[in-house]
Amino acid sequence: MPTVSISRRGEDRARAGHPWIYRSDVTAASAAPGDLVQVVGARGRPIGSALFSDRSEITLRMVSFGPASAAPDFLRERIAAAMAYRESLKLNATAYRLVHGEADRIPSLIVDRYGDHLVLQALSQGIDRRVREIVAALVDAVHPAGILARNDPRVRLLEGLDQRVEVLHGTVPERLEVREGVVTYEVDPWRGQKTGLFLDQRENREAARRYARGRLLDAFSYNGGFALALAPACESVLAIDISEDAVARIRANAARNGLTNVEARAMNVFDELRELERIGARFDTIVLDPPAFAKNKAAVPKALSGYKEINLRALKLLEPGGFLVTCSCSYNVSEPMFLDVVAAAAADAPAEIALVEKRAQGRDHPILMNVPETYYLKCLILRKLA
């Protein structure tokens, strides 16, 4: 097995349980793109084994720690473990994340299940090189009707990999039907955002449903995730998304579920919140689920003002006794930062609010304790007291 040596700093990082070693901490490497390598520290101390990239700033992605190397066929056993964990969760849905990269000890592999079909993303050289092996393991474990590779994320370019979407096994239709709780959705695995659905919010939709009532505003609705899950508990639903495509899907999904109280509008949420305030609209339940405003550290100050603005306006539109479900999926905006920004919005509104639930991404997207990057989705359920 090829060997890669790392610096003292890299060693400390790996010993603290972090699976990424950056290029600046690599002192010597004789390995080919995607190789499974032995990682050694100062004086040849064994650190573990990793997948090697000759292009990414993340040169090594650890797959095992300690003197014993990962077995050449480690992927198969880890896919089986990832699947067993998902089965143990007894999720009330036919769509969920089957493999969540680092959190399933398969760095940079994503596999989402949509009923009988799988959609995967191979986001590093090491995983890309092993796609055939991964597909074979998935076919044996899940017997899917088809596997689609949604290898179009831009991060692949950082690995020197091309962007492509292709069928790797069986057939994958243009539209798939999945069920989440009592709601069925039509999903576009070929072109939809992420792999087709925001699966990481499934449990937050379930949680929000426990509080939803009256007039609901679902801002940043995509294909109606929160709107449709909460609609049966509400009198009326207004779902807003800037994308015409998304709004068409909200309408189609509402009709498919026989939900007649859902109105969907293609609007910019920032403008529409202002307009709703101007006309004196009020809501009993509001969901804010914007895209990641801070894609990097430099964007954090601007992101915080964006979060502040939408939360402030939502709190003004909310009736006393009503619930605000507010989310941030920006890893760069930490939970304490997000709590602060929402508190500041409440002070300015002004509104007295209580924290009812503090939530994260669903259990099929586990957070690794030693890898802060894996805790990205924050979801607060708040109640407006006055």
Q: Which residues sit at the interface with ligand SAH, rule CB under 6 A? A: 198, 201, 220-222, 225-226, 240-243, 246, 268-270, 289-291
> Which C-beta is closer to ligand SAH: that of 310 or that of 342?
310
> Which C-beta is closer to ligand SAH: that of 133 or that of 357?
357
Structure tokens at 375: 């805790």
- Match 């050289």 to its residue by tokens: 125
* Least distance from ligand SAH to the Cβ atom of residue 246, Å: 5
* Least distance from ligand SAH to the Cβ atom of residue 326, Å: 12
- Match 């894609």 to its residue by tokens: 295
> Which C-beta is closer to ligand SAH: that of 70 or that of 382?
382
Dist CA 302 CA 78 (whole Å): 40
Ordered DSSP codes for 219-257:
ES-TTTHHHHHHGGG-SEEEEEES-HHHHHHHHHHHHHT
Dist CA 307 CA 289 (whole Å): 10
> Which C-beta is closer to ligand SAH: that of 17 or that of 291?
291
State which residue has the least CB distance to ligand SAH. 225
Q: Is 327 an annotated catalytic residue? A: no
SS3 31: coil
Dist CA 184 CA 255 (whole Å): 10
CA 199 to chain centre: 7
* Least distance from ligand SAH to the Cβ atom of residue 66, Å: 40
Dist CA 69 CA 40 (whole Å): 11
Q: Kindly name the residue from 234, 327, 329, 379 that is annotated as catalytic.
A: 329
* Least distance from ligand SAH to the Cβ atom of residue 220, Å: 4
The CA distances from residue 197 to 179, 184, 186, 194, 295, in Å, are 11, 12, 10, 7, 20
> Which C-beta is closer to ligand SAH: that of 68 or that of 248?
248
* Least distance from ligand SAH to the Cβ atom of residue 187, Å: 11
Phi then psi for residue 336, to 5 deg, are -60, -40
Strands in 53-209 per DSSP E: 58-65, 95-100, 109-114, 117-122, 146-151, 164-170, 176-180, 183-187
> Which C-beta is closer to ligand SAH: that of 20 or that of 338?
338
Cβ proximity of 193 and 110 under 8 Å: no
Structure tokens at 195: 């792999």
* Least distance from ligand SAH to the Cβ atom of residue 91, Å: 16
Supply the residues annotated as catalytic: 329
